[in-house]
Amino acid sequence: MAKKKTEKTDICVIGAGYVGLVSGACLAEIGHRVVCVDSDPRKIAMLEKGVMPIYEEGLESLVKRNVKAGRLFFSGSISEGMHHDGHRAAAVFIAVGTPPRPDGSADLSAIEKVAEEIAHSMSGYTVIVEKSTVPVETCEWINKTVLRHNKKNIPFDVASNPEFLREGTAVGDFLKPDRVVLGCPSPQCEAVMRGIYRPMKGATVLVTDVKSAELIKHASNSFLAAKISFINAVANVCEKTGADVEMVAKGMGLDKRIGMSFLKAGIGFGGFCFPKDLEAFYWLSQRKGYDFELLKAVKNINEDAKMWLVKKVQEELWNLEGKTVALLGLAFKPETDDMRFAPSIDIIAELTKLGAKVRAYDPISQENAKKAIKGIYFAKDEYDCLAGADCACLVTEWARFAKLDMKKVMSLLKHPIFIDGRNLYRPEKMRELGFTYRSVGRQ
């Protein structure tokens, strides 16, 4: 019997950043023909040469494999991306940036511009898929924008398909998701969207109305942020009472209703998603007449968590004027080069404001960090970073930092002071080695 042919959809993904490039490559990986479009000609030129504009584990090999297989292409034009080499895109995914405005709302101007171009470029029924993280009702505005510019009255639907990708594990998250959420306004749209994700055998697919799908993303990220801030608040209580936050978290996490994930005390969350989504969800709630005070508390606790490290440095070194502080790690989390809203940025700003000289090293995000942070010394490696410093601080828990030669670290530091902002090391071992060791919520 002949093997059933895999259902293939022609797809255009607009935006070749963290979400768009990963989504496009993964959609190609499951058998679709995908054209990734980006307005940055430098980024497109890099991708056509097989050079990744971002660091993400497994992404480079995924992109190269699907380019070679003739399933993944790149373009600088939306019109070309939607009609590439005689193929018409049945679905167009919008994955452009939605940066926060000063008031906490999301800047959706890029989405509006893209929606206009899609309207001008459609030549047959098209499902326009909102993939960027946006506030509820954005799909409604996309629909209005496309209607306004759709002079040929081409039929279309606007769907919401929020992403749940974690930087550092984004490829695996896409290909083996916890769930796929599809906000579909019509049976025809649902059929197209189900067809796109059908090759992902075993994935839980939840089909909802469009507004519920939009809200799921912000609600999910805000809840996870709340979980992080909760355990960081508990860590403060642990420090004041002599309890161990890791034991408390373990005891909490064994309850299946709570779970262990995101109960890791530290110096707060960063990255582009959690801070931005938290602000946007709070802004939306206020605009709709509800003061979501819990989200304000989550944000305030996170700001305090970042400054925990600065306070501990002050407690050990007293006056920071002229003192040298070494920071290990700059990215907001391991396995990414993303510096957006990284706690290290605020920590360094406060340390330099207090007169400290900062030395820093990150194995992957160093070049991006140089664009975001000025006036500090970027070290060649972790040991160069520590040389001559008055104290060492762990900011990002890269696996290589767990393997540091601590005797060498001790010999390089002026004083054997180690502030662990991610609870990477065991307190008893560090003190046994002779360090004055401080960690989050542990005695």
Q: What pLDDT, in 10s, does the model give residues 35-64?
A: 999 999 999 999 999 999 999 999 999 999
Q: What one-character DSSP code corresponds to residue 125?
A: -
- 10-14 and 33-37: which strand pairing? parallel
346 pLDDT higher than 60: yes
- Could you tell me the domains of the chain? 10-208 (3.40.50.720), 220-439 (3.40.50.720)
Distance CA 125, CA 156 (A): 5
Give the model confidence (pLDDT) of 405-440 as tens digits. 999 999 999 999 999 999 999 999 999 999 999 999
Assigned token pair, 58: 């497994």
pLDDT, mean over the chain: 95
Q: What angle do CA 6, 12, 14 make, to 5 degrees?
A: 145
Q: Give me the mean pLDDT over the 31-37 stretch.
A: 98
Residue with tokens 């018409």: 88
Composition of the chain by helix, strand, coil, percent to 5: 45, 15, 40
Q: Which residues are catalytic?
A: 273
Please compute the mean of the pLDDT values over residues 119-148 and round it to a whole number.
94
Which of 51-60, 95-104, 283-292 has the lowest average pLDDT? 95-104
pLDDT band at 2 (very low <50, low <70, confident <90, very high): very low
CA 175 to CA 204: how far, in whole Å? 12
Closest CA to 302 of 269, 347, 342: 269
- The pLDDT, as a whole number, for residue 6 is 57
**Closest residue by Cα to residue 393 from 371, 360, 428, 353:** 360
Confidence of residue 134 (pLDDT cuts 50, 70, 90): confident
Task: Please report the sign of the dihedral spanned by the C-alpha atoms of residue 119, residue 120, residue 124, residue 127.
Answer: negative
Give the H or E element holding residue 403.
none
Which of these, 76, 78, 74, lies nearest to 24 by C-alpha position?
74
**Residues in the chain, total:** 443
How far apart, in whole angstroms, are the C-alpha atoms of residue 37 and residue 370?
A: 28
The yes-or-no verdict on residue 108 having pLDDT over 50 is yes
Q: What is the pLDDT of residue 273?
A: 85
